[in-house]
Structure 1
Amino acid sequence: MVQLISVSEESKVTLHNIYQLYLYDFSQFTEEDINSCGLFGVSLDHYWQDPRWNPFFIVHDGKIMGFLVVLFENYDVDPDPTHVIYDFMILKKHRRNGFGKEAAIKAFNLYKANWKVAQMSSNEAAVLFWRSVITEYTNDTYTELYRPDFKKYVQSFNNKDF
């Protein structure tokens, strides 16, 4: 069983290290380069300075197998909140075993809200993954639109009545 463990500020270095793997995977789509230290530039400090950001480790059998970040677009106190899966990564060796789907569903179940999930159109595996997960989770009651300005697909749904 997968667990979502909130990332404490004390675990920031661990999350930063995992982000390096995530950005490496993503570099085929973003064409981002490493810096002179051999790292991708990423700052995560805002995750602990702004309560809208909610990072979680994805853990199975006591081992971190990835992470996800939930962004409260308009805070959770809004009467009609919208939350976004902002970043999501499962280590390659754990992919296609149902762990990502389980983690995504657990994240959705944490908050009753309007949800958005976006993927770069060039990342076909991510588009197919999220369509499949959201179709099953919502019983195919979601909307999808393509944002040509960002070259992204965005799925939207709400789980307030689930």
Structure 2
Amino acid sequence: MTTDVSARLADATDHPTLERLWLLFRHDMSEFSGALPNSDGTFRSDRLHAAFTQADWAPYLVTSGASPVGLAFVRSLTAPTRVLSSFFVVRGARRTGIGLRAVQEVVTKHPGPWEVAFQESNVIAVGFWRRVASEIAGDAWTEERRPVPGRPELPPDTWITFNAPAAAQG
């Protein structure tokens, strides 16, 4: 397991890096959503925009050493339950422990109830998010299927809910 992982709150200077990571994320997700690029080769970027402009959102840049390796967008920061709206780790950094460490770092910064959605057809994500929930909350997590709002043609998303403890003081 790698130890040089950081998930830090992104600022305006990180925006271009997160835009490029976002394109990689949306490309990966297009396999499950069927989404095609816009005419300029980009994908829908409303969540990227919201992460940088909405007060209730927070964009995180995930790095390993000096390399940007992923992103995490949190929404509903002031709501009773926070939502990990988008999470991505580049393929070359997967299965190294970076994703788990990054999620743990992000949720610890916002202790309390959390939800994360994924597609059941994304078999790798299914195993990853169940492992994340177990690592963070032990057996105290739930899973349910919910329809995708406004997309009745898509299969329901799977939502995992868990509580993130506050970081240990020491």
TM-score by length of 1: 0.88
Matched pairs, number = 156
Cα gap change, 1:15 to 1:161, in 2 (>3 Å): closer
Match of 1:99 in 2: 98
Tell me the alpha carbon deviations over residues 113-151 of structure 1, each in whole angstroms, 9 at most, x when there is no partner.
11111111221211110001111221111111122x221
Cα gap change, 1:146 to 1:63, in 2 (>3 Å): same
Q: CA deviation at 1:47?
A: 2.3
1:153 partner amino acid: T
Determine the C-alpha separation between the residues in 1 that align with 2:76 and 2:133: 19
Segments of structure 2 that go 5 or more residues without pairing to the other structure are 149-155
What stretches of structure 1 move > 2 A for 4+ residues in a row? Answer: 43-49, 159-162
Q: Does 1 or 2 have the higher relative contact order (CA < 8 Å, sep 6+)?
A: 2
Q: CA deviation at 1:161?
A: 7.1
TM-score by length of 2: 0.84
Of 132, 152, 162, which residue of structure 2 is paired with 1:157?
A: 162
1:154 partner amino acid: W
Task: Provide the identity percentage.
Answer: 28
Name the Cα RMSD after superposition. 1.7
Cα gap change, 1:159 to 1:14, in 2 (>3 Å): closer
Determine the C-alpha separation between the residues in 1 that align with 2:49 and 2:157: 26
